[in-house]
Amino acid sequence: MMIVRPAQERGAANFGWLDSRHTFSFGNYYDPNYMGFANLRVINEDKVNPAKGFATHGHRDMEIISYVLEGALEHKDSIGTGSVIRPGDVQRMSAGTGIMHSEYNHSDTDPVHFLQIWILPDKKGIEPSYEQKTFTQEEKSGTLRLVGSRDGRGGSITIHQDVDLYATLLKDGEEVSHPLANGRVAWMQIVRGAVQLNDQSLTAGDGAAISQEENITLRGASSDAEVLLFDMAA
């Protein structure tokens, strides 16, 4: 079974310096039918103007993943971490008992375009932590590259939840498949381009909840498709 979340039906917020689209309920956007999926709570697609960003604010008991599509995102937090996140990087911040952080566009001239993803942790009150790794285009081209997992296997970032996060880059006609084990569900987020998911055509910004399927087949339908796949406990 597959339920598509069309890009144009997402929540929206525009503050001038920030243009954001919300796959699930977030901030002032509320839809009781889209409060999250399994342990996936937030997928926000954000575009931030040059030299603008989110001032220091707090989080707790959440796994927060940043995935940059274009530009550069500067991160600073209260545990002494500072970094710049660029395309190809995957950053995980575990808020745990509480953390303060800020996120700004690192550039004074170019916008930054990124996804911020929130995942509910499997345990509350863990020690706040941070991790960032780079995955090259070659690693993701034509294959599902594991970029996040509970045990950090295969060089992926560690997520404190039973989630396997994959990223792929597909050219037109390239195909990948993924088995979905019993008791597992999946969320597919189309980052850019167009794909064919099983028998459904999807484009950038679309998402899909997948359950009760033994196998997921994904085929590129443009020259530049990029997709994230979350394989999660139901």
The whole-angstrom separation of Cα 221 and Cα 57 is 40
Give residue 12's pLDDT: 97
CB-based contact 42:11 (threshold 8 Å): no
pTM assigned to the model: 0.96
pLDDT digits (tens, 9 = 90+) for 44-82: 999 999 999 888 888 999 999 999 999 999 988 888 888
**DSSP string across 19-38:** EEEESS-BTTB--TT-S-BT
The sign of the torsion formed by the CA atoms of 149, 215, 167, 3 equals: negative
| All residues at 6 or more sequence positions from 168 whose CB lies less than 8 Å from its CB, including other chains | 140, 141, 142, 143, 144, 145, 176, 218, 226, 227, 229
Q: Give the tens place of pLDDT for each residue, 100-157.
A: 989 999 999 999 999 999 999 999 999 999 999 999 999 999 999 999 999 999 999 9
List, in order of start, the domains of the chain with CATH numbers: 10-135 (2.60.120.10), 138-233 (2.60.120.10)
| H helix or E strand, kind and range, residue 138 | helix 137-140
What pLDDT sits at residue 101? 86
Cα dist. 15→23, 50, 66, 72, 119 in Å? 18, 14, 20, 20, 25
